[in-house]
Amino acid sequence: MTAKLLVSNTSPLTTVQDLGRSGMLRHGISASGPMDSQAFAAAAAALGGAGPAGIEFTTSGLDIEVVAGGCRFALAGGQFTASLNDVAIAWPDVGDLQQGDRLHIGPGPVGNYGYLRFDKGIHLPLVMGSQATNLRAGIGGFAGRALAAGDILGLIEPEQLDPGQQAVAAASAGPIRVLWGLHADAFPPEVHSRFLQKEFVITSRMDRMGVRLDDPEGVFRASSGLSLVSDAVVAGDIQILGDGTPIVLMRDHQPTGGYPRIATVIGSDLDRLAQMRPGTHVRFESVSLVHAHRLSTLRSASR
Amino acid sequence: MFAADGSDPAAKPLVLPLGESALLVRFGSTLSQAANTAALRFARILELRPIAGVVEVVPNLVSVLLRYEPQRIGFHHLAGEIGLLLTAAVDDVGAEARNHIVKVAFGGEAGPDLPDVAERLGLSAGAFVAAHNASRLRVLATGFAPGFVYCGFHPERLHVPRRAEVRPRVAAGSVLFAAGQTAIAATDIPTGWHVIGHTQLRNFDALRDPPTLLQAGDTIEFEATT
């Protein structure tokens, strides 16, 4: 063990995440992984390589005390406030932690999710090949649950480093880009056009499984509950409940679903959507599959 | 949307994009034995003849999900490869279907809907259980929740719709009945299906390898415990 960290205070739904548990859908398990994958990667890049797992915290932040040892750390994601031993530090930032240090992360003006990563690995078992916490299934991370005050995390020399990737200047505004979804043809054409014209609002009913949207213009008001065969779901799918409520399915989504899905948020914009706070107005723009692939190639080009 | 000419006249598979790094090959828009069989068979063919750039193949009730890496294979290229495989003559897909015997305590506190289901079908509880266990079912798919399996199909005379109300939580091991199928919950879940019994079988354990015991295509025989 090269360091021991005490979680002295934490925000709800703070979890250990790594790049995710992909390949397990046949067992009914979605991949999980960071809600803002670009920020997670940026934290690793800032360290010149990080242990595979890091901590994802939510809006009220996180307090860590170094009980033993030391490490380098990086902070990224959204815009939080932070201090080290009561001295304000920048956001994002990298630095060193030594025994006795107190790292405080407090609320900030932007985003729902922030990341704390280390140049070390977190000493937790691999569950189905990953350390990512899946809160829906209660597996991975710290005993399959969110971190709580009093938890102690051991840091170890990692077997391999995640090089991460520096943040590309992402569009911080503008519509969220989507591909038409699996059941788009089940919605009438006027719903398609209104879906792209009208604004939706992010609600506070959001977690790692999904983000509920408010539909003030009633785009989906008349949507009748279609009876569909349950079929595979991917992160970013926008499903419409029987009462017309749109939900964007996120990293801990269920593996299959029976609600109609009008569109799928492209990977490049799902991180941005995850960071939108309740009350944020959002519009959607449809793009072609070719365009979505071009954007994802740009994102992975410097990996 | 790309229609591929399937050799099976019952199914005209569609290749449908699902986001930018997955697609579905769908063999029907309603659940049928033919569509499920075609999906399981095609998933098996994809295991035998893997396509470079495809990183995960998952059979569902009436479709097969393929996750792919767009940097390695484009959608149209992949759809073309899929079209070839859909028409390819593959004699023996050699799926190793295993048979499982699942012991169920029917009725009682852990199967509160059994009397209601039996009554709807005009059967005594005992006669319903006997009819339920009479045919060997097939695991149609894993989905909805970790290790949750859909098993079908019961004969038409045993079909009941789902309940009007969803129970917010039923226990792992609950045996569920609706729409001509029996499902087994491997974790605590919400459900609108009728809860007819309980099994000790836990089809999901994250620490086991593989984490699920039952896979799509396997056969299931239910037995009542006394």
Same domain, B22 and B117: no
Contact B144 A230 (CB under 8 A): yes
Same domain, B66 and B141: no
What CATH number corresponds to the domain at position B71? 3.30.1360.40
Q: What domain range is B174 assigned to?
A: 99-224
Interface test with B, best of A234, A266, A286, A299 (most B CBs within 10 A): A234
Interface test with B, best of A179, A230, A241, A268 (most B CBs within 10 A): A230
Q: Do the domain assignments include residue B28?
A: yes
Q: How far is A301 from chain B (nearest CA, A)?
A: 10
Q: Please state the domain count of chain B.
A: 2
Q: Which amino acid is present at A38?
A: Q
Would you state the pLDDT for residue A299? Answer: 73
Q: Tell me the pLDDT tens digit for each residue of A85-125.
A: 999 999 999 999 999 999 999 999 999 999 999 999 999 99
Contact A25 B75 (CB under 8 A): no
Same domain, B9 and B52: yes
Strand partners, B197: B106, B175
What CATH number corresponds to the domain at position B169? 2.40.100.10
Domain boundary among B61, B87, B113: B87
Q: Do the domain assignments include residue B44?
A: yes
Same domain, B15 and B62: yes
Q: How far is A291 from chain B (nearest CA, A)?
A: 10
Same domain, B74 and B112: no
Question: Is A76 in contact with A40 (CB distance < 8 Å)?
Answer: yes
Length of chain A counted residue by residue:
303
A217 phi, psi to nearest 5 deg: -85, 0
Q: Is the ipTM of this complex over 0.90?
A: yes
Would you state the pLDDT for residue A172? Answer: 67
Q: Which amino acid is present at A114?
A: G
| Distance from C-alpha of A163 to C-alpha of A44, rounded to nearest angstrom | 6
A15 phi, psi to nearest 5 deg: -135, 160
Domain extents for chain A? 3-156, 176-300
Contact B58 A29 (CB under 8 A): no
Same domain, B106 and B71: no
Q: Which residues of B touch A292 (CB under 8 A)?
A: 20
Domain boundary among B87, B109, B141: B87
Q: Which residues of A touch B145 (CB under 8 A)?
A: 28, 137, 254-255
Domain boundary among B87, B113, B141: B87
Would you state the pLDDT for residue B38? Answer: 95
Contact A300 B71 (CB under 8 A): yes
| Distance from C-alpha of A134 to C-alpha of B61, rounded to nearest angstrom | 24
pLDDT band at A222 (very low <50, low <70, confident <90, very high): confident
Q: How far is B109 from chain A (nearest CA, A)?
A: 25
Same domain, B104 and B216: yes
| Distance from C-alpha of A117 to C-alpha of B214, rounded to nearest angstrom | 38
* Facing residue for A289 by CB, picked from B20, B61, B145: B20
pLDDT band at A176 (very low <50, low <70, confident <90, very high): very high
Q: Do the domain assignments include residue B39?
A: yes
Q: Which residues of A touch B61 (CB under 8 A)?
A: 229-231, 256
Would you state the pLDDT for residue A170? Answer: 60
Residue B139 has pLDDT above 80, yes or no: yes
Residue B166 has pLDDT above 80, yes or no: yes
Same domain, B134 and B193: yes
The domain defined by A176-300 carries CATH number 2.40.440.10: no
Same domain, B74 and B107: no
- State mean pLDDT over B178-194: 96
